[in-house]
A and B are shown apart, each in its own frame.
Chain A
Amino acid sequence: MTLAVRDSLTMLRRQLRHMTRILSLTLMLLAVPIVFLLLFVYVLGGTLGDGLGGGAGGRAAYVDYVTPGILLVTVASAVQGTAIAVAMDMTEGIIARFRTMAIARVAVLTGHVLGSVLQILLQLAAVLAVAVLVGFRPTATAVEWLAAAGVLTATAFALVWLAVAMGLAAKTVAGASNLPVPLTLLPFFGSGFVPTDSLPAALRWFAEYQPFTPIMETLRGLLLGTPIGDSAAVALGWCGGIALTGYGWAKWRYNRER
């Protein structure tokens, strides 16, 4: 067991080195949520904010509303990098070499997961900083901040495992970079950018039952004090389910002979 931990940490160090070597990819994936944030706040925010109903409306209200959605776009965009990194590993012979060595098998994957989660947390901090610069004013207490960090970590952990599986399942690196793209779009088909009750019926039904909506509602509640209700429990349930599915799928793909 301790060897598995030691091997996983070795793989984590490898992963962190990779991230500094392919900084351009990291920065590009970080640019996606920031561009969305600026676009939605400065181009659309004035009008969308007025449509939120209640409160002052306008751009200032919309920055607060959209930031939790942008945080999820950050996670979804970043896991694209995870899928790419895993797929690239598979096309290079290095993974075959690891398999011929007496090391904990799962260490390669846990290295990717730990590395990606750490990277995502850094990216979330960067995006939050930009959000605050453009007017995001959270009301969270220290405990609520911690809880929000926990929810984001759980979300990152779940989506990273899913992305690892996608990277293993993809036949090419290009395929691996495409598979997680729908994840980036999911916040749009939820409560990320507009309240779900403004959506047409079918879309609203989807929005209310897809995993990202309860996660975003929980974040919104923790950071801005809106009602959370059962969103937190549903969100954590989704995270657990996605993580387990991703882990199982990844393990199966990884242990298959190739």
Chain B
Amino acid sequence: MTNIPTGPAIEVAGLRRSYGSQVVLDGIDLNVPEGTVFALLGPNGAGKTTMVRILSTLIRADAGQVRVCGHDVAREPDRVRAAIGVTGQFSAVDSYLTGEENLLLMADLHHLGRAERRRRTADLVARFGLDEVARKAAATYSGGMRRRLDLAMGLVGGPRVIFLDEPTTGLDPRSRRDMWQLVRDLVANGVTILLTTQYLDEADQLADRIALLDRGRIVAEGTPAELKRRVPGGHVELRFADDGALTAAAAVLGVAPPAADGSLLLRVPGDGRVRSLRALLDRLDAAAVEVEGLTVRTPDLDDVFFAVTGQPAASGRPAAASGKAVVR
């Protein structure tokens, strides 16, 4: 199979899916070339998990074409299943079995021979740093270990395409970086990865291309560099003692005052360099507006969404707040 020209590993056209009256995916088109990493970036509720569930044959699309490794997910689900590995947002490991037994279970379900199942299990245990815990029940694992085991289980069958649904959500920073390294190693071996994430930095770190998913639509797509060019470089958050100062500052700086939500915070676009900060404060000083405090924010998911859609990510949906909280 080596000399076949590389086509897209994942092709999606006109994909739609609703749950009852709620439209979750509203016409998705995307192409992921073989051997690349594609990130679906979006807040909670954007439709990322639904997307992965359709691509991995768990649920059906209402409309549209979805092909993985050249096979239609609706018509040839078993062909697709034989070619993919899935790691979910909630670890799909068997808690009662040990890590090693979990991997052997996968090997058996992939119908590997006796020698091969042993070899592959031992290899994955070593590669994913599970040596010390391989003979302990998965129920005793830390979050990071569970996620590593989960990913390892998805690799037993030697998949050509891997879906990672929020692979680092809920992990501590160290486990997160470990996970990133594992993903990079996978790519080096030539597999195709589609990952979903709510973290811009994660998509930036890992992906060749990023698609921004918002309310079931892809609102922007490009390389990380292309997308970041569309983000104005973060903002400065100013805190005031009272509404009067806030309104005055908004007038001086020429930005729209925020809705009267009582937070007394004003977001001003800016890159946080000392010179521009000083200029900003000088202008406020000159107008005799007292600033209580100041925070510099690097671009986060909200900024990307703001830049692309002209409105904050998934406004009106409280769940979106969780994405922002962790990026900081």
Contacts and interface: CB of A to CB of B under 8 A. Distances in A.
Question: Do A and B form a real pair?
Answer: yes
Interface of A: 3, 6-7, 10, 13-14, 17-18, 21-22, 92-94, 96-103, 257
B175 interface: no
**A-B pairs with the 4 shortest C-beta distances?**
A93-B92, A97-B92, A102-B81, A102-B82
Interface residues on B, range: 20 to 34
A92 B111 contact: no
A92 B95 CA distance: 9
B81 A94 contact: no
B84 interface: yes
B27 to A, nearest CB: 21
A3 B137 contact: no
Contact of A7 (B79, B94, B97, B109): B109
Interface stretch (B57-65, B118-126, B215-223, B299-307): B57-65
A96 B89 CA distance: 11
A100 B109 contact: no
Given A14-B105, A17-B101, A257-B60, A97 B96 contact: no
Nearest to B96: A21
Given A10-B109, A97-B92, 9 more contacts: A14-B97, A14-B105, A92-B93, A93-B90, A96-B92, A97-B88, A100-B58, A101-B106, A102-B82
A163 B94 CA distance: 21
Contact of A3 (B56, B79, B111): B111
Contacts of B110: 101
Interface in B94-120: 94-97, 101, 105-106, 108-111
B42 interface: no
A257 B86 CA distance: 17
A92 B97 contact: no
A13 B97 CA distance: 11
Nearest to B56: A100
Contacts, number: 62
Give the most central of A22, A100, A257: most B CB within 10 Å.
Answer: A100
A16 B317 CA distance: 45
B111 A94 contact: no
Q: Is the interface of B mostly helix, strand, loop or mixed?
A: loop
A97 B137 CA distance: 18
B9 interface: no
A257 B59 contact: yes
Interface string B32-65: 0000000000000000000000001111100000
Given A7-B109, A103-B109, A14 B94 contact: yes
Contact of A17 (B58, B84, B92, B97): B97
Contacts of A13: 108
B164 interface: no
Name, among B82, B90, B95, B109, the residue most crowded by chain A CB atoms within 10 Å (CB to CB): B109
A21 B137 contact: yes
B58 A99 contact: yes
A17 B94 CA distance: 11
A194 to B, nearest CB: 41
A10 B105 contact: yes
A103 B110 CA distance: 8
B153 interface: yes
